Amino acid sequence: MNFDEQLRHLIVEALQEDIGDGDHSTLSSIAATEKGKAVLKIKQDGILAGLAVAQKIFLFKEPTAVFVPYKKDGEAMYFGEKAFEVEALVHTILQCERLVLNCMQRMSGIATLTKQYTDKLVGYKTKLLDTRKTTPNFRLLEKEAVRIAGGVNHRFGLYDMIMLKDNHIDYCGGIEKAIEKAWRYVQENKPELKIEVETRSIADVEKVLAVGRNKVTRVMLDNFNPADVAHAVSLIGEIFETEASGGINLQNIEDYAKAGVDYVSVGALIHQAKSLDLSLKAVIVK
């Protein structure tokens, strides 16, 4: 499925989860034909993300709803600003309210943290990657928030890249065996898959160099300090892409960039992000 198809699936499931057999609060107090207007108010500074998603949620529920954006995804947002206004049936507004807020608050928190990391990488070739350390069934939008703020999406799941991590290597009986088996699998089943190999030492890097040429695309340098990353990068040269992972934070990310690595992956972009404060308020015209 492409992004829009996955998003539609997410919206359907999320609305069903929330509405169930009926939004009885709204059904009991608001006529089905009543129309209204609401505005998204920004209550905390940060980076806005999820506005386009909000629009798709409202239009999914009511295709004739009028959605007026005042800002764009990826822009800085400040307390007191308005992000958008929507005019629709009151039932639509109230039934979509929590889903819209949950998505935008979470995505904006991730985008805000991601921007802090990407700002540290300005002037370096190193790019920032996310990971699979995501919320089940919400990965699509968490990774979209990273992309909006200038990060790069790593693999989306177990299906779109082969990554031979420590447990794969240990169960298989070593790096050399794991690479050879993965390479044969790719050739026989899915030639477009790229192979990444996790290494835990310079000795591991040397093993990948010995058997992985023209087979491996990227080498992960897991829990290497910046000095060891620089050493590994000098050994690898342009043979493989390089990725540093493990223990990378806002305080040391620039040291890894200085080491010349192609990518740094940071799980904290998503699992340590804090949702930002937004609210959807009814606009009452007197």
Is 98 among the catalytic positions?
Answer: yes
pLDDT tens digits, residue range 156-190? 999 999 999 999 999 999 999 999 999 999 999 99
Structure tokens at 270: 């998503």
Q: Hey, how many other C-beta atoms are within 10 angstroms of the C-beta on 44?
A: 16
Closest CA to 234 of 219, 215, 252: 219
The yes-or-no answer on residue 133 being catalytic is yes
* Cα distance between residue 59 and residue 171, in whole Å: 49
Q: What pLDDT digit, counting tens, does each position of 45-73 carry?
A: 999 999 999 999 999 999 999 999 999 99
Q: Which tens digit of pLDDT belongs to each residue from 104-163?
A: 999 999 999 999 999 999 999 999 999 999 999 999 999 999 999 999 999 999 999 999
Mark whether 198 is an active-site residue: yes
165 assigned to active site: yes
120 noted as active-site residue: no
From CA 100, how far away is CA 243, in angstroms rounded? 35
Catalytic residue chosen out of the listed positions 35, 125, 165, 258: 165
Residue tagged active-site, from 62, 130, 222, 243: 222
The catalytic position among 98, 181, 194, 200 is 98
Q: How confident is the model at residue 1 (pLDDT cuts 50, 70, 90)?
A: confident
Percent over 70 (pLDDT), the chain: 99
Catalytic entry in 62, 196, 198, 204: 198
All domains in the chain, ordered by first residue: 3-109+275-283 (3.90.1170.20), 118-271 (3.20.20.70)
- The active-site residue out of 56, 71, 133, 194 is 133
Query: For the packed helices 51-61 and 3-19, what is the interaxial angle rounded to 10 degrees?
Result: 60
**C-alpha atoms less than 13 angstroms from C-alpha of 206 in its C-beta half-sphere:** 5
The predicted-structure confidence for 100-113, as pLDDT tens digits, reads as follows: 999 999 999 999 99
Dist CA 5 CA 9 (whole Å): 6
